[in-house]
Structure 1
Amino acid sequence: MTGEKFISIDGQRLNVNIIGDGEPILFLHGVPGSEHRFFLPHVIPLSQQFKLILYDQRGCGKSEPSKQNHYSMEDEVNTLELLRIELGLQKINLFGESWGSMLALLYATKYPGRVNKILLTASIGVTKEGFERFGQELEKKISEQEKVKLSELEKKLKIDESSLDDILNILDPYYVFSREALKHKEKISINNLVNQSIGRDILNNYDLTAKLDLLSKISILVAQGSHDILTPELIEDLLIKFIPHARLIEIENCGHWTVVERPEEMIRIAHEFFKNADNNIYRCDRAQF
């Protein structure tokens, strides 16, 4: 059961891509409304040792939209659990990027017994504060001229006179340490309805602080770019202090898109983390990698 295919989940078709064989790693893509192609081809070398399971979240990429046109964090957690069951997996390893890092933690606090290990990258935090702080830090970097242009494009977007691509052309350079990395990013679609719906849900409801004790038996590693919009120092405050057993690795000369900008390093980190039975090797300073 390898390759790209559609799997029926709760009466809706989910686009799933399975590559390789071995212990499974399930990838959770960032940006609500985006798609799994963000990870490709960058993570494919891991398929030599692991079974990679990538999928487009509901209403994203090639997956069918919600029949009720409703999207929420809870829906995505339920979809992930139904996918686990459909694939016959007892426990899963999760690789969550950006919004996917939040989804990984949401799932693990609801189904802690179903999770083996979690690798987070471009992480956001455990409450809406991280999501809000991300926007604030990004805004600090954008020039006044670009802010004016973005405002105009956002107004036009509401009346279909501009596209998300127009907006992303301005924002994307701030997600990387080197603009050269943009050449290696796959052009992906974004469903604006999904993006806006889940964004509102995060602002209204994302708070895991009362459930974090449920993560105590799950190995968690965080790989954050040195020049991420949320720097490793900020992630110490937004995530690590709440999950003290989680380990933080700083990826040097890297922005938010670690998988795109430093793929070989992320492959090495993921391989060592998911293969190693004793994660005490990650009790180290951030300069190890």
Structure 2
Amino acid sequence: MEQEIKLNKLKSESGLHVHIISDGEAIVFLHGGPGSEHRFFLPHVLPLSQKFKLIFYDQRGCGESYPTENNQYTMEGEVDTLEYLRKNLGIKKVNLFGESWGSILALLYATSYPERVNKIMLTAAIGITGEGFTIFAEELEKRLADEDKIKLLNLEEKYINGSSTIEEKIFEVLDKYYVYSEKALERKQKTTMNTIVNEAIGKDIIKNYDLTNKVDKIKNIPILIAQGSHDILTPDLIKSLLLEHIPHAKLTEVKECGHWTLVEKPSEIIEIARNFFEPPC
């Protein structure tokens, strides 16, 4: 009850929706998108609550968190939000679990506040510069069947012309390209996507995301990457986009798995995360 009151106060003061499960050493989950929400992680990571406190939050303007006053969204703003959350939850050093765009946010935060980070786990990683974000779009384009390209063009035209929300129809076309087996989509929870956030932060990533000269700041932070063998950014691409710049990071390939590792191979990701975040005896 006390925790619920604290979280309600946090939302009333900051507009942030925060969801905490269990007790123990904390892991803060950073959702993807940009523009998605924390429910993407659920219920897939719940087994981790047996040993860890799981902290989820919806980034600004996402899910149940309030939009910014001027509806402007940036990478820097999300780093500030994460630091605000850490302070208000009283966490001295955070464990971060970043998925897709959340992997970028985790690295941005760590290079900004290295002394505040304990360990970082990334999945569906993108890289350390905007190049990875651009290559992701290019690789996805290559995979699209011709009929799906036509469907997306038609949906984009309707969107530009002010048609009603069409995100679900776009997802219906794209979802199968994010997994190795379409059967995995049966486990995917229905989530929302804020397209304003997606577009704003997407542009910011392409234009401004570059940690090339900052990676030395995180050389002492353990980093583990769990990348699907058939991710849109394959493990080989991640070696050049990330590992060449952060050589102490460890890469684990998740076999027969696409971009949505938590949806497709939850048990494997849970085991990897548990072993990685487990404090030494």
C-alpha distance in 1, partners of 2:86/2:230? 34
Paired residues for 1:88-237 under 5 Å: 88-158=90-160, 159-237=162-240
| Alignment match of 2:16 (pick from 14, 17, 26) | 14
C-alpha distance in 1, partners of 2:122/2:64? 24
When normalised by structure 2's length, the TM-score is 0.96
Q: Does structure 1 residue 256 correspond to structure 2 residue 252?
A: no
The amino acid across from 1:132 in the alignment is: T
1:98-133: CA deviation from partner (whole Å, max 9, x where unpaired): 000000000000000000000000000000110000
1:41 is aligned to: 43
Question: How far did residue 8 of structure 1 move?
Answer: 3.2
1:6/1:35 CA distance change after superposition, 3 Å: farther
* SS state at 1:64 partner: coil
The amino acid across from 1:125 in the alignment is: G
The amino acid across from 1:57 in the alignment is: Q
* SS state at 1:25 partner: strand
The amino acid across from 2:198 in the alignment is: N
C-alpha distance in 2, partners of 1:138/1:20? 37
When normalised by structure 1's length, the TM-score is 0.93
The amino acid across from 2:47 in the alignment is: P
The amino acid across from 1:71 in the alignment is: Y
C-alpha distance in 2, partners of 1:7/1:174? 40
1:60 is aligned to: 62
* SS state at 1:103 partner: helix
1:7/1:188 CA distance change after superposition, 3 Å: farther
* SS state at 2:202 partner: helix
| Alignment match of 2:75 (pick from 54, 73, 76) | 73
Question: How far did residue 12 of structure 1 move?
Answer: 2.8
Asked if structure 2 preserves the Cα contact closer than 8 Å seen for 1:219 and 1:246, the reply is yes
1:192/1:274 CA distance change after superposition, 3 Å: same
1:14-50: CA deviation from partner (whole Å, max 9, x where unpaired): 1100001100000000111110000000001100100
Q: Does structure 1 residue 26 correspond to structure 2 residue 28?
A: yes
**Worse-matched range after superposition: 115-124 or 148-157:** 148-157
C-alpha distance in 2, partners of 1:75/1:10? 19
* SS state at 1:209 partner: coil
The amino acid across from 2:22 in the alignment is: G
Question: How far did residue 10 of structure 1 move?
Answer: 9.9
Question: How far did residue 9 of structure 1 move?
Answer: 6.8
Post-superposition, which runs of at least 4 consecutive aligned residues in structure 1 deviate over 3 A?
1-11
Stretches of structure 1 that go unaligned for 5 or more consecutive residues are 279-289
Question: How far did residue 148 of structure 1 move?
Answer: 1.4
The amino acid across from 2:214 in the alignment is: K
The amino acid across from 1:41 in the alignment is: P
C-alpha distance in 2, partners of 1:204/1:165? 28
| Alignment match of 1:266 (pick from 266, 269, 275) | 269
1:76-107: CA deviation from partner (whole Å, max 9, x where unpaired): 00000000000001000000000000000000
C-alpha distance in 1, partners of 2:13/2:129? 31
Q: How many residues align?
A: 278
Percent of residue pairs identical:
58
1:188-220: CA deviation from partner (whole Å, max 9, x where unpaired): 000111111001100110000010000101000
* SS state at 1:8 partner: helix
